[in-house]
Structure 1
Amino acid sequence: MVITSLSSAIVFADEGGVSYWLPGRFGSLAATPQVPGWSMAEVYYHTSVSAFGNAAAAREIHVGRIPATVNVDLNLRLNAQADLVLLNPTYTFATPVLGGQLAIGVTGLFGRSSANLDGTLTAAIGPLVTTRTGSFGDSITSVGDLYPQATLKWNAGVHNFMTYVTGDIPTGAYDSRRLANLGIGHAAIDAGGGYTYFNPQAGHEFSAVAGFTYNFKNQDTQYQNGIDFHLDWGASQFLSKQLFVGLVGYAYQQVTDDFGAHPILGGFRSRVFSVGPQIGFLFPVGDLQGFLSLKGYGEFAAENRPAGWNTWLTFSISPMMPTSTVIPTRRVATK
């Protein structure tokens, strides 16, 4: 069953208040081993966000290429949304690696992103002062970056553990002069680990996955995002062997300063938290297993990044479970 590992880059990065890491990428059952073989997950992702203050000002500074020598006073509001389709083929190996189960995959995306800025900008160079009031925006429909990923998972009864490594290959639609993009314009690497408690008999489940992102410099803007920390979690109760309900959430905190930001932005460390509901349903598709889930997040306590809400509708196909249980209860073979 593939329900845990999808990512994308929408309108933002730490540069301009947007990260490579898309919070909510991992969820319930994240660390549980899967059935060996090919699987495919498709996700429709929608997000709607807004921002005031520095998070909006950063986009004006970035797109307008306002130099550090210019004193600026910005009173702006940013609104943005994206509708994306993500495809995530994954292959899970049957042969153990370091006593665990290895899986590799890649995520690609296609969709539409739009953004607009409204407000007032006042710029001054010495005695010369210029004020601009109004709005501007743009949109793009294209493909995004590619996101390869490898995971290694271990099972010990109701306890499951994982480690992962992923990153960004900047092949998507990106232009540093645009307000809306589907790529981030730079490479990134992300790694971390996770844990899942899953008791099939009682139907109780809890998962948490944490990691750090290192961002490489954007050569178009000479801007480099700081190191980011993120935590995704999910808790669910199985009402039957096919249906579960629960909660999901995430915490995101940038832990080091950006390099190349305008002086008025300072270190521009981003932060956001979120929580929301989820529901999932498993069903047979011929000799394969289908999975359909819906989860939603409402964001709060955001700093230096836009915030709002987002939803994930996931449909996946994977090899059928060897038993009637939701997740295989056998241990992964050890060497």
Structure 2
Amino acid sequence: MKRYLSEPKSHCRLIRATIGLAVALAGVSSDPAYADEDGVSYWLPGRFSSLAAVPAVPGWSMAEVYYHTSVSAFGNAAAAREIRVGRIPANVNVDLNLRLNAQADLVLLNPTYTFATPVLGGQLAIGITGLFGRSAATLDGTLTTAVGPFVTTRTGTLSDSITSVGDLYPQATLKWNAGVHNFMTYLTGDIPVGAYSPTRLANLGIGHGAIDGGGGYTYFNEKAGHEFSAVAGFTYNFKNPDTQYRNGVDFHIDWGASQFLSKQLFVGLVGYYYQQVTDDFGQPPILGGFRSRVVGVGPQIGYLFPVGDLQGYLNLKGYGEFAAENRPAGWNTWLTFSLSPMAPTSTVAPTRRIVTK
């Protein structure tokens, strides 16, 4: 720890900038992972974590993420899939003993450009995230439906998988620094160009557009190596033209806390809370408002290292989920590798700081 405290300020800024790039990925989602319409939301919880609001070093940077998730659901969250793919009429009485299991393995690519010229006294960055990978889902169990005096019981399994590309997710951030305090605002959204079909059990796109915006804060004491970040936002969803279904408004908050053990290594915790705050529109009557909720928490570890004239960064974080409602839940892991410009060796800060009185 003594060695870390003696490092020049330029290295501390480099830590802030590199990790800030890696956690400021444009928002992503994958069909088996999370939910509004049949358990699928635009926002992927865990997108932001430690040092999210810290300004970066100006220039081009690139982050690559391998994301794995394994989730399951019962009751309404499982029935919503069967209704959407047309296996259950939306107007029948349903007695469910269904289980949904889903997995995804995705690769996310996020090029970002950070401007050197201040905007509104802060630092502007724009980027876009694309993804490709595999999504798989299985429904099994017993389904009993009743229409008037007629009762039908069916037991069996439905399975589906797809390997393709997902939607595109542009993002803009504006960040300010005032000593140990850092602030940010962001705007992002979904361009629905990924692989999607309303009759498939598994998809890599969500089938509709979305806009998401919010703000965040990071406390980072460079001398002590203490850090805490939290980013909150709201998602507005547009109507899915294939199903005439529109998800309600979603609220989410991602957080991370870390302690630097040396100039290169840190450990900590990450977490998120996701809550749908308004009802869906166009949902079958048996699902009600179908508001989704989930909470996740887990460990993280990060490591910084030089790559030629660039700065490399590796981070591994994982979440276990609980308190889920109307959405699949389980666990997910993120392995991030990023490359960003080296911080200048002088002690002059690379970004404009807020003048406080």
* TM-score of the pair, normalised by structure 2: 0.90
2:199 aligned partner = 177
Distance (Å, rounded) in 2 between the aligned partners of 1:266 and 1:250: 25
Of 302, 310, 332 in structure 1, the residue corresponding to residue 332 of structure 2 is 310
Question: Could you tell me whether the CA contact under 8 Å between 2:176 and 2:354 is conserved in 1?
Answer: no
Higher mean displacement: 213-222 or 61-70: 61-70
Distance (Å, rounded) in 1 between the aligned partners of 2:136 and 2:108: 17
Shift of 1:333: 5.0
Identity %: 83
Shift of 1:203: 0.2
Shift of 1:124: 2.1
Question: Could you tell me whether the CA contact under 8 Å between 1:253 and 1:272 is conserved in 2?
Answer: yes
Distance (Å, rounded) in 2 between the aligned partners of 1:91 and 1:191: 19
* Residue correspondence of structure 1 range 30-69 to structure 2 within 5 A: 30-64=52-86, 66-69=88-91
Of 82, 105, 124 in structure 1, the residue corresponding to residue 127 of structure 2 is 105
Of 91, 106, 109 in structure 2, the residue corresponding to residue 87 of structure 1 is 109
1:8 aligned partner = 28
Of 121, 138, 149 in structure 2, the residue corresponding to residue 127 of structure 1 is 149
> Per-residue CA shift, 1:142-166, capped at 9, x if unaligned?
0000000000000000000000000
Q: In the alignment, residue 45 of structure 2 is paired with which amino acid?
A: P
User: Once superposed, which parts of structure 1, at least 4 consecutive aligned residues long, lie more than 4 Å away?
Assistant: 328-331
2:171 aligned partner = 149
Question: Could you tell me whether the CA contact under 8 Å between 2:177 and 2:354 is conserved in 1?
Answer: no
Structure 1 170/235 Cα, relative in aligned 2: closer, same or farther at 3 Å? same
Shift of 1:10: 1.0
1:286 aligned partner = 308
2:271 aligned partner = 249
Shift of 1:96: 0.4
Please give the secondary structure, in 2, of the residue aligned with 1:267: coil
Shift of 1:108: 0.1
> Per-residue CA shift, 1:188-222, capped at 9, x if unaligned?
00000000000111000000000000000001011
Shift of 1:5: 2.2
Of 48, 70, 82 in structure 2, the residue corresponding to residue 26 of structure 1 is 48
Please give the secondary structure, in 2, of the residue aligned with 1:97: coil
1:266 aligned partner = 288
> Per-residue CA shift, 1:257-290, capped at 9, x if unaligned?
0111111111000000011000001100011100
Question: Could you tell me whether the CA contact under 8 Å between 2:176 and 2:353 is conserved in 1?
Answer: no
Higher mean displacement: 238-247 or 69-78: 69-78
1:229 aligned partner = 251
Distance (Å, rounded) in 1 between the aligned partners of 2:352 and 2:239: 40
Gaps of 5+ in 2: 1-17
- Backbone CA RMSD of aligned residues: 1.6
Q: In the alignment, residue 30 of structure 2 is paired with which amino acid?
A: I
Distance (Å, rounded) in 2 between the aligned partners of 1:301 and 1:269: 13
* TM-score of the pair, normalised by structure 1: 0.96
Distance (Å, rounded) in 2 between the aligned partners of 1:324 and 1:123: 71
Greater helix percent: which structure? 2
Q: In the alignment, residue 332 of structure 1 is paired with which amino acid?
A: R
* Residue correspondence of structure 1 range 188-199 to structure 2 within 5 A: 188-199=210-221
Please give the secondary structure, in 1, of the residue aligned with 2:22: coil
Shift of 1:323: 4.0
Number of equivalenced pairs:
333
